[in-house]
Amino acid sequence: MKVIEVQNLHRIFEDGNQQIHAVDGVDLDINKGEFTAIVGPSGSGKTTLLNMIGGLDSPSSGSIFVAGEEMSKLSTNKLIDFRLNNIGFVFQAYNLIPVLTAEENVEFTMLLQKRSKAERAERTLELMNKIGLGDRMKNRPGELSGGQQQRVAVARALAPKPKFILADEPTANLDSKSTANLLDMMAELNEEEGVTFIFSTHDQRVIDRAKRIITLEDGKVISDEIIQK
Partner 1 sequence: MLIKIAWRNIWRNKTRSLIIIIAIMLGLWAGVFLTGFSWGMYDSRIDSIISKESSHLQLHHKNFREDYMAKHVISNLPDYENLLKSDASVKAFSSRLVVSSMVASSRSSLGLRISGVDSTAENATTQLHKKIVEGSSFKKRGRNQILISKKTADKLKLGVGKKLVLTFQDVEGELISASFRIVGLFKSGNSLYDQSNAFVQKENLAPLLKLNGGVQQIAVLMNDEREMEVLQTKLQTIDQNVKVENWRELDPLMEYAIESFDSSMQVIIGIIMIALAFGIINTMLMSILDRVKELGMLMAIGLNKVKLFIMIMLETLFLSFIGAPLGMLLAYITILITGKVGIELTSMESGMEMMGFSSTVYPVVLPDQFWKIGIMVFVVTFISAIFPIMKAIRLDPAKAIRKV
> Applying CB under 8 A, which residues contact partner 1?
47, 51, 54, 56-57, 76-77, 80-81, 83-85, 89, 91, 93, 95, 97-100, 104, 107-109, 111-113, 156-157, 160
CB of 76 to partner 1, least distance (A): 8
Nearer to partner 1, 100 or 180 (CB): 100
Asked if 84 and 54 touch (Cβ cutoff 8 Å), the reply is no
CB of 106 to partner 1, least distance (A): 11
Asked if 199 and 190 touch (Cβ cutoff 8 Å), the reply is no
Rounded CA separation 223/38 (Å):
10
CB of 223 to partner 1, least distance (A): 26
Rounded CA separation 194/166 (Å):
15
CB of 180 to partner 1, least distance (A): 25
CB of 229 to partner 1, least distance (A): 31
Nearer to partner 1, 35 or 89 (CB): 89
Nearer to partner 1, 112 or 187 (CB): 112
Nearer to partner 1, 96 or 216 (CB): 96
CB of 98 to partner 1, least distance (A): 7
Nearer to partner 1, 24 or 107 (CB): 107
What secondary structure does DSSP assign to the chain, as a single string?
Answer: -EEEEEEEEEEEEEETTEEEEEEEEEEEEEETT-EEEEE-STTSSHHHHHHHHTTSS--SEEEEEETTEEGGGS-HHHHHHHHHHHEEEE-TT----TTS-HHHHHHHHHHHTT--HHHHHHHHHHHHHHTT-GGGTT--GGGS-HHHHHHHHHHHHHTT--SEEEEESTTTT--HHHHHHHHHHHHHHHHHH---EEEEE--HHHHHH-SEEEEEETTEEEEEEEPP-
Nearer to partner 1, 93 or 222 (CB): 93
Nearer to partner 1, 75 or 176 (CB): 75
CB of 177 to partner 1, least distance (A): 26
